[in-house]
Amino acid sequence: MRIAHGSTRRGRALTTLAGLSLATALLATGGPGGAAPTSLTAPQASPAQVAEAQNADALTAPANLPDVPALPGPVSPAFTLGSTLGVLTTRSSGTQYGVSGSGTEGQPLTISGTKLPAHASVAIEWATANETWVTDVEPSTVNYLGTAVKNFNVTLGTATTDAAGSFSYATTVPADFGGQHTIYAVVRGQEVAQGGFTTMRTFTISPTRGPIGTMIHVTYTGLGATAYTLGSALDWDNHFVGEFQAAWTRGTASFDIRAAGPVGRHVLETGAAVGTLYMNSDQSPIPYANLLKAYFTTTPGGTLPATQVDWPASVTPTVSQFTTADSTGVDPASTATATLSSSSGPVGSKVAVTVTGLSGSGPDQLVWSSVVGSRVNCPNGATTCWAYASTPLGSAPVSGGQLRANVTVPVTTAGEPGAGLGGWHVIQVVSGSAIEAQVPYYVKESVVVYRGAGGRVISDGVAAAAPVPTDVTSPTLTQVAGVGRPTYTFKEGEEFTIALDGVGWTEIDNTLAVDYDNSLVGYGCGFNSNGYTAIHLYATGGPGVHLIDLYPELYTLNPDYATTVYGMLPVLSYARDFPGLALGYQVPAFRFAIRIVK
């Protein structure tokens, strides 16, 4: 789904809808204003699609996202079309890439006007946009619905015409969304000339050489604010690594990947993409979304890279609603307030709960609120296929209206590892059948750590595969998942596993995309397994070090959301441009390595 809020130079708002699921629901419900369509026959919309149209929420980007370019200028006041139009031209000294009136961010830009009113102050207005992500946040889940854009103008600067009605204004190409920008010359609130400029893309990597596992920082400028220009993709030696966007970072994407083998030179390619690369974009309606390449040389040497977790930027959420936080069952007369010693942590974390303002004498029950279910067997059109589930955390006495207790984030199975669903949950304080207070807690995704005698770490998340036992009455989680001996070393073709805990259930955090040596091979899901996710792979590629990288992914396999863009692919730009950040989700990338021996 994509929502576009456009504006003409006269300030009239236009709304354009794209995406089958939302458009279908709007038609079925009579359109955005409720009026029945007269010339279109609406396809049958499911209840989920109707709810999607009603609940779609364009997210506000967190204000403290790092390294986001500022608007190129202050927002322009509305203006009208003048009776006579002059001529406006643009010129940049940068590379044109075959597109006239174009250049790249930071290059010199000259805007010139002729045949305008003489001795007039001219406001130079630049057409731009704000782009954002769209979700549907519900008490039981979060649905990912695509993107939304709002178009507007900003004032780049002012110039004064001479006696002949001409001016020349020197600046640089703004750090802004890429693609085509309309430029207006405005005198006393009226447009007197119009021109355009095309901001092209740039692609750089650093460093350009190093051993297997070297972190490569990618910087990409000039991503646009339209459906076909917002995203790009990265290929490594003709293998798809992942996609990236710059909705909240105003056209500039920056992220990290790792250098894979074998030793030698590798080619990295980027370009226009709504998912995978548009390989002949120079023949498309957006030729300015040009294919670009860079080279990295993988050098000999280096050690087996340690398992690492790369967290996204720590930002302040802009949405206060949390999954499992529902007002149903809450005592309307209660004035109790609950606080926690920490607001997030992995499965098994210890948390101190403090409650004040209780009116009863206790003891009160402490309850963990979660969900159980699955999307796989969810019939098309169903509004939900899972239910709330409560786990008792114990009870605590009430004294002077206060309660203090220590609780453990639930681990459903004792031993190592234990399963626990990730994401936002609430801890409820219950008196009788009424909820007196509830407070949110975020369960972080984590690597399953395998330990030996004395607690010594044998492996962080990597183990051989093993047959699922058929002669065990009560098999452990690892046995059911086919996880065997912890090790990082395998023979060619041997099956192995990567294990995580705390994977969530919403469309923001229930799946992680899996890359093997910078090539997408599939994804893993943690909902049905209650957060414990054991991914099976095969050791291939010959002797040496090989990389496994897991990236956040936006789930769109539910038929009701199957047309939503950017779904089911690795989101490389997750650290600064991912819808979950506005909702308080901290979904990281996980990086593992194995060694293949003869």
400-457, pLDDT tens digit by residue?
A: 899 999 998 887 544 445 568 899 999 999 988 889 999 999 999 999 999 888 889 9
**pLDDT tens-digit profile of 168-192?**
999 999 999 999 999 999 999 999 9
Q: Which pLDDT band, with edges at 50, 70 and 90, does 270 fall under?
A: very high
Q: Which of 43-57, 116-130, 365-379, 519-533 is predicted least confidently?
A: 43-57
Q: Does the pLDDT of residue 76 top 80, yes or no?
A: yes
Choice between 53 and 228, residue whose per-residue pLDDT is larger: 228
Give 444's DSSP letter.
P
Instruction: Identify which of 486, 488, 546 has the alpha carbon closest to the alpha carbon of residue 516.
Output: 546
| pLDDT value for 530 | 85
Q: How confident is the model at residue 14 (pLDDT cuts 50, 70, 90)?
A: very low
User: Domains in the chain, please, with CATH?
Assistant: 207-298 (2.60.40), 337-443 (2.60.40), 446-597 (2.60.40.1930)
Q: Does residue 531 come out as left (phi exceeding 0), alpha (psi in the -120 to 50 range) or beta?
A: left
Residue with tokens 């890279």: 305
Q: What is the per-residue pLDDT for 165?
A: 95
The mean per-residue pLDDT over the stretch 358-362 comes to 80
CA distance 512 to 549: 10
Q: Each residue of 93-140: pLDDT tens digit? A: 755 555 568 889 999 999 999 999 999 999 999 999 999 999 998 888
**pLDDT at position 27 over 80:** no
Share of the chain above pLDDT 70, in %: 86
- Residue 74 φ/ψ, nearest 5 degrees: -65, 150
Q: What is the pLDDT of residue 272?
A: 86
Confidence of residue 524 (pLDDT cuts 50, 70, 90): very high
pLDDT band at 491 (very low <50, low <70, confident <90, very high): very high
Where residue 480 falls among pLDDT bands split at 50, 70, 90?
Answer: confident
Return the pLDDT at 379.
Answer: 64
Q: Is the pLDDT of residue 28 over 60?
A: no
The model carries a pTM of 0.88
Q: Does 7 score more than 60 pLDDT?
A: no
Q: Catalogue the E-assigned strands of 21-105.
A: 57-58, 80-81, 87-92, 102-103
- pLDDT of 550 strictly over 70: yes
**Residues 231/249, Cβ–Cβ less than 8 Å:** no
In whole angstroms, what is the distance from residue 46 CA to residue 40 CA? 18
d(CA 566, CA 557) in angstroms, rounded, equals: 12
User: Greater confidence, 366 or 7?
Assistant: 366
- How far from 264 is each of 208, 218, 237, 259, 300, CA to CA, in Å? 12, 19, 11, 11, 9
CA proximity to 183, closest of 122, 237, 239: 122
**What are 569's two structure tokens?**
């692919």
Report helix angle 20-28 to 47-55, nearest 10: 100
- For residue 139, whether the previous peptide bond is cis, meaning omega lies within 30 degrees of 0, is no
pLDDT recorded at residue 560: 67
Q: What is the pLDDT of residue 295?
A: 98
pLDDT over threshold 60, residue 10: no
* SS3 track for 86-120: CEEEEEECCCCCCCCCEECCCCEEEEEEECCCCCC
Mean residue pLDDT across the chain: 86
Confidence band for 225, pLDDT divided at 50, 70 and 90 = very high
Asked if pLDDT for residue 227 goes beyond 60, the answer is yes
pLDDT band, very low/low/confident/very high, at 92 (cuts 50, 70, 90): confident
Lowest mean pLDDT among 3-7, 12-16, 257-261, 265-269: 12-16
Q: Name the residue among 247, 253, 251 with its Cα closest to residue 234.
A: 253
> Are 202 and 175 spatial neighbours (Cβ–Cβ below 8 Å)?
no
Mean pLDDT computed over 489-506: 95
CA distance 563 to 27: 16
Average pLDDT over residues 199-223: 96
pLDDT at 482: 87
For residues 551-574, average pLDDT: 87
pLDDT, one tens digit per residue, over 439-449 is 999 999 999 99
Residue 108: cis peptide before it, omega within 30 degrees of 0: no
pLDDT digits (tens, 9 = 90+) for 284-317: 888 878 889 999 999 998 899 999 999 999 999 9
8 A C-beta contact, residue 216 and residue 254: no
Question: Nearest 5°: phi and psi at 500?
Answer: -130, 160
Q: 319-341: per-residue pLDDT in tens?
A: 988 888 777 788 888 999 999 99
Using CA atoms, how far apart are residues 541 and 544, in angstroms rounded to an integer?
Answer: 8
